[in-house]
Amino acid sequence: MRDAAPQTIYLKDYTPTPYNVAHVALDFTLHPTATRVQSRITFTRVRAEDLVLNGEDLILKSLRVDGAEVPHELSETHLTIPAAHLSDAFTLEVEVEISPQTNTALEGLYMSGGMYCTQCEAEGFRKITYMYDRPDVMAPYEVTIHADTPVQLSNGNPTAPGCWTDPHPKPTYLFALVAGDLVATTDHFTTMEGREVTLNVYVRPGDEDKTDYAMDALKRSMKWEEDVYGRPYDLDVFNIVAVDDFNMGAMENKGLNIFNSKYVLASPETATDTDYAMIEGIVAHEYFHNWTGNRITCRDWFQLCLKEGLTVYRDQQFSADMRSAPVQRIKDVLQLRARQFREDAGPLAHPVRPEAFVEINNFYTATVYEKGAEVIGMLRTLVGPAAYDAALTLYFDRHDGQACTIEDWIQVFEDSTGRDLSQFKRWYAQAGTPHLTVTDDFKNGEYTLHLKQKTKPSAGQPDKAPQVIPIAMGLIGADGAEVLPTQVVEMSEAELTLRYELDAKPIPSLLRGFSAPVILETEQSEADRLVLLAHDTDPFNRWEASTLLAKSNLMANLTAGSAPATAWLDALTKVITDDTLDPAFRALVLALPSEDNLANACDAAGIVPDPTAIHSARKAVHLAIAQHMGEALPALIAATATPGPYSPAANDAAKRSLRAQLLRLQTRLDGGTMARAAYDAATNMTDQLAAFGCLLSAGDTTVAAAFEAQWRTDRLVMDKWFAMSVAEADPDDAVAVATALTQHADFDWKNPNRFRSVIAGMTAMNPAGFHHPSGAGYRFLADWLLKLDALNPQTTARMSTAFETWRRYDVDRQALIQEQLARIATHPGLSRDTAEMVGRMRD
Ligand code: PHE
Ligand code: ZN
C-alpha cells in the first residue's frame, strides 16, 4: 500500500510546476538487486516555490544542488528541497539505489526472463529516480548504461555502446531502458525527408525466426503515416523489444517501443490469423504514437484520450486500409460493444475525459481508448475528410513539442473549420451510451422518421444533455432497391423529425457504418431485417441486420424455447453460400452474439439473465443452424481451403475464419469427426487451434494432452492451451478445470499473460462457468485477485472488472458477488489500484 489514505486527483486542480526541466542525464549501473541510478537534471525557475519531486521505493545515496549538499525532506512518495536553497537555474545531482529483481509490479525498472526493462507510463519513472513524473514536464535526455549484457538500449540515437541521446523533449513516461541477451532482426526505411532509419526488432535468442511480420508491419506503418498523414519518423533508429512479462499490450517509448511478446512474435505454426492482425494493429498503434502522443503529448493524465483515442482511430484506419474496411469496422464495433458499452452501462462508467481518479492506471479503459476513437471518427464524419485532414495538419503544426488538452484539440477543429464545437465536447464529458430511439410512419406519400436521444444517469452525472450525433442513413425499398443513398444527418437536440416524399414506405438503414457510438432502438420487423440482410448497400448494416436477427431468434429460444425461424435460417444459408461476399464477412454473419452480449440483451429487455440458460440457448440455436445447413457443410468447408504456403494476408485469413465457423457447425453434427481430420491435417496455428476448440467442445479426451505435448516449450502457444481448456470446459466443471490448471507446473501466475489465460479463460470466455449458481466462479476469481494484488496491482485491478456487470444478475448472484467484493475490499494491505476499482463496483 503506497498511501495510508489514497487521494483523489482532480482535473480542475491542474497547476504547472514551479520549475521547468531543461535537460536530463541518467547514468545506470545495472544490478538485479542493487542498480545505481545517477541523475543530473537541470532546472529553471518559474515561481519561487519548493521543488517537490516524485520518488517511490528509492534508496537515496547522495544529493547535491550545483555541487553542494542541501537540506531536503523525504517522504514515502516525494523529495522536497526548500525554495530558499534553489536559484534561477540549477543542477540537481542525485544517486539512488533500486532493485529491479524484486519489482513484481512491472512498473519502473524490472526484470523479465533475465533481461532488464522499464515501463514508465503512467507513473513508473518515480520508481527509477526523483523527478517531476508528469507528462507536462518535457526535456531532452542523455543516458549511459553500464551492464554486462550484450545489448543496452534507451531512447533516441546511439552515440557509443551503452550511450543514447534523445534530442526530442519528452516526458518521463516515455523514458525506456532495456538491457539483456537479445538478438535483433534489422531492416531499413528511408523517410519522405530522405532520412535513413535503422529498424530493429529485438527478441530473446531462439525467437529470431518470429520477427518478420512485426518488421513488415512496422515498415508499412511508417509508409502509411507518411502517405495519409504526411508525418515522417524523426530519429536514426527505431527499436522494438519483445518482453515476456508485461502488464499491457505495448508501450510507445520514444524510439524504443516495448511490446508484450505476444504482440511481436509470430510464425505460421505458432500464431493465429487473429494474432497476426493484432500484431499489425499494435505495431502501427505504437508507431503512430510518435506523432500523436510523443511529439504532441498530454498536459495531464485526464487528457489521456488525446493521445489514445486519436491513436486508436489511426490504427483502425490503417488496419482498414491494409485489410477489408467493412470487416475491420464490424470487428471494431464488436469490440466496442463488448467492452466499452459494457463498461459504460455499469458502475465503472466514466467520461472519455475523466475528471477525477485515484489511480491513473485504472483509466486505461475501453472508454478512453475505444470510445475515444469513436469520438474522433464522429468528428471526421461531421466536418468531412478534407476538413479533418486540414485540422490534423494544423494540430501538428500548432502543437508540435507541446503537452496539450482536449480544449486545444477541439480549438484546432474550430479554427480550421469555423464550426462551433462546444456541444460536441459533451462527448468527452458525459459518461454513458446514448440511446437513440427511432419510430417511423408513412402517410399520404410522406415518410416520417422520429428520433429521440437519451442517456441514462451514471455515477456523479444524474442528468445528461443531448449530444451531437452524426447519423449516416439511407432508405431501402421493400424490394431491396435503394431509395435514398447514404446521407449524414446531424442530430443535436433531444428530438428530431425527418420527412421524405416517397411513393411507398421504405425500410430505414440507420447509423450506417455505425456512425456514432449509440444504442439504436427501433421497431424494425424481422421481415425488414431480412430485406436489409439481403440488400442493404451498407455492409455494416447488412451485418447488423444479421446480428439483430440472430439476437431475436436466440432470445425467442431463451424465453420461450422457440426453434429459430426458417426464414432466418434460409437467409443465413444464402449469405454463407454467396461466393460474391467476402468470406470474412460471411464468417462474421455466422458468428452468433456472445453469451455476455445476450446477458446484456436480457437486461435491456427487462429480463434477469440466467447465464446457464443463455449458454444452452446458444448451443441449441447453433445446432439448429448446423442442422439447417446439414449436408451443405462439407462442401462449404472444402471451398474454404487455402492451398499453398501460409499467408497471414486478409484473403487467406478470411477463408480460414469462415472455415473455423463452418467446422464448429459441422462438429455439432458429427461429434468431431471432421474436426479431428482438420486437426491432424493442420499446418498452421489458425487451423490447429480452430480444430482444437471444436474437439474440446465435443468432449474429445485425448486432444488436450496431445496439444500440450506438442507445444509444451512455447509460452505463447501454451497460453492459448490454458485459455482454451477453460473456455471450452462444461460450465459445471469450469471452476474445477481452472483450479486444476492453476496447479499445473507451467502455471506461472506472476506472468500476466499466463495469469490472464486461465483467469480470463473463465471470466470472459466461459461466462456460464464464471456465473455458476454455486458462486464458485466468483470465489475462484477473488482468491486469485487477492493473491496477485500483493505482487501486481495493475493487472489485478484490470481483471477485477469481470465483476462490473453484477447488477444485471439475480439477487442470489448479486449477493455472492458483493460478498467477494467485500472480501477483497477489506483485505489488509490491498493496493490502491484494486481498492479504487472494487470501491467503485461495490453497492
Ligand atoms: N500507452 C500504451 C498504448 O496505448 C498502453 C500502456 C499504458 C502500456 C500503460 C503500459 C502502461 O499503447
Ligand atoms: Zn496507445
How far is Cα 839 from Cα 820, in angstroms, rounded to an integer? 12
pLDDT, tens digit, 9 for 90 and up, residues 581-619 = 999 999 999 999 999 999 999 999 999 999 999 999 999
% the chain with pLDDT above 70 = 99
Mean pLDDT along residues 113-126:
98
CA neighbor of 804 nearest in space, from 780, 839, 775: 839
How far is Cα 654 from Cα 583, in angstroms, rounded to an integer? 5
How far is Cα 555 from Cα 549, in angstroms, rounded to an integer? 10
Is omega for the bond preceding 122 within 30 degrees of 0, making it cis? Answer: yes
Provide the pLDDT for residue 395.
99
Mean pLDDT along residues 158-180:
98
Mean pLDDT along residues 239-260:
99
Q: Which three cell numbers stand for residue 312?
A: 486508436
How far is Cα 713 from Cα 70, in angstroms, rounded to an integer? 54
Confidence at 4, pLDDT banded by 50, 70, 90:
low
Mean pLDDT of the chain: 98
> 491432424: which residue's cell?
680
Confidence at 6, pLDDT banded by 50, 70, 90:
confident
Provide the pLDDT for residue 328.
98
Helix axes 406-417, 385-399, angle to 10 degrees: 130
How far is Cα 33 from Cα 21, in angstroms, rounded to an integer? 29
pLDDT, tens digit, 9 for 90 and up, residues 538-584 = 999 999 999 999 999 999 999 999 999 999 999 999 999 999 999 99
Judge contact between 581 and 533, C-beta under 8 A: no
pLDDT, tens digit, 9 for 90 and up, residues 213-241 = 999 999 999 999 999 999 999 999 999 99
Active-site residue flag, 286: yes
Give the residue whose CA is nearest to atom 9 of ligand 1: 121
Instruction: Give distance in angstroms: CA of 124 to centre of ligand 2.
Output: 16
Instruction: Dihedral sign for Cα 96, 100, 103, 105, please.
Output: positive
Residue 365 CB less than 6 A away from ligand 1? no
CA neighbor of 144 nearest in space, from 235, 26, 236: 26
How far is Cα 618 from Cα 595, in angstroms, rounded to an integer? 8
Q: Where does residue 16 rank: exposed (0-12), middle (13-18), buried (19+ CB within 10 A)?
A: middle
> 483523489: which residue's cell?
8
Judge contact between 294 and 256, C-beta under 8 A: no
Instruction: Give distance in angstroms: CA of 71 to centre of ligand 2.
Output: 40
Please give the ipTM for the structure prediction: 0.99
Mean pLDDT along residues 234-254:
98
Residue 156 has pLDDT above 90, yes or no: yes
> 410522406: which residue's cell?
446
Mean pLDDT along residues 485-500:
98
Give the residue whose CA is nearest to atom 5 of ligand 1: 251
Mutate to test the pocket of ligand 1, among 364, 370, 798 (most ligand atoms within 8 A of CB): 364
How far is Cα 481 from Cα 475, in angstroms, rounded to an integer? 9
Residue 1 has pLDDT above 60, yes or no: no
Judge contact between 596 and 767, C-beta under 8 A: yes
Residue 119 CB less than 6 A away from ligand 1? yes
Task: Find the ligand nearest to 173 CA.
Answer: 1
> 516526458: which residue's cell?
171
pLDDT, tens digit, 9 for 90 and up, residues 387-399 = 999 999 999 999 9
DSSP, collapsed to helix, strand or coil, labels residue 767 as: helix
pLDDT, tens digit, 9 for 90 and up, residues 685-706 = 999 999 999 999 999 999 999 9
Residue 21 CB less than 6 A away from ligand 1? no
Least trusted range by pLDDT, from 1-5, 118-122, 744-748, 754-758? 1-5
Instruction: Give distance in angstroms: CA of 379 to centre of ligand 1.
Output: 24
CA dihedral 145, 147, 149, 151 (to 10 degrees): 10
Task: Find the ligand nearest to 373 CA.
Answer: 2
Judge contact between 785 and 796, C-beta under 8 A: yes
Give the residue whose CA is nearest to atom 11 of ligand 1: 121
Mean pLDDT along residues 277-283:
98
Q: Which three cell numbers stand for residue 307?
A: 493521445
Residue 373 CB less than 6 A away from ligand 1? no
How far is Cα 488 from Cα 684, in angstroms, rounded to an integer? 44
Q: Which residues pair with 443 in a beta bridge?
A: 446
Give the residue whose CA is nearest to atom 1 of ligand 1: 251
| Eight-class DSSP state of 125 | G
- Catalytic: which of 123, 225, 252, 286? 286
Helix axes 734-742, 776-789, angle to 10 degrees: 20
pLDDT, tens digit, 9 for 90 and up, residues 435-486 = 999 999 999 999 999 999 999 999 999 999 999 999 999 999 999 999 999 9
Judge contact between 193 and 225, C-beta under 8 A: no
pLDDT, tens digit, 9 for 90 and up, residues 64-97 = 999 999 999 999 999 999 999 999 999 999 999 9
Give the residue whose CA is nearest to atom 7 of ligand 1: 121
If you compute the radius of gyration of the chain from its CA atoms, what whole number of angstroms results? 27
CA neighbor of 287 nearest in space, from 252, 318, 243: 252
% the chain with pLDDT above 90 = 99
Angstrom distances, CA of residue 682 to CA of 315, 651, 660, 669, 785: 31, 18, 12, 21, 37
Residue 285 CB less than 6 A away from ligand 1? yes
Instruction: Give distance in angstroms: CA of 307 to centre of ligand 2.
Output: 7
Judge contact between 55 and 77, C-beta under 8 A: yes
Provide the pLDDT for residue 843.
77
How far is Cα 734 from Cα 738, in angstroms, rounded to an integer? 6
CA neighbor of 163 nearest in space, from 153, 173, 171: 153
Instruction: Give distance in angstroms: CA of 46 to centre of ligand 1.
Output: 31
| Eight-class DSSP state of 249 | S
| Eight-class DSSP state of 562 | P
DSSP annotation string for 307-338: HHHHHHHHHHHHHHHHS-HHHHHHHHHHHIII
Provide the pLDDT for residue 3.
45
- Which segments of 561-594 does DSSP mark as H helices, in order? 566-576, 583-590
How far is Cα 436 from Cα 645, in angstroms, rounded to an integer? 48
Instruction: Give distance in angstroms: CA of 250 to centre of ligand 1.
Output: 6
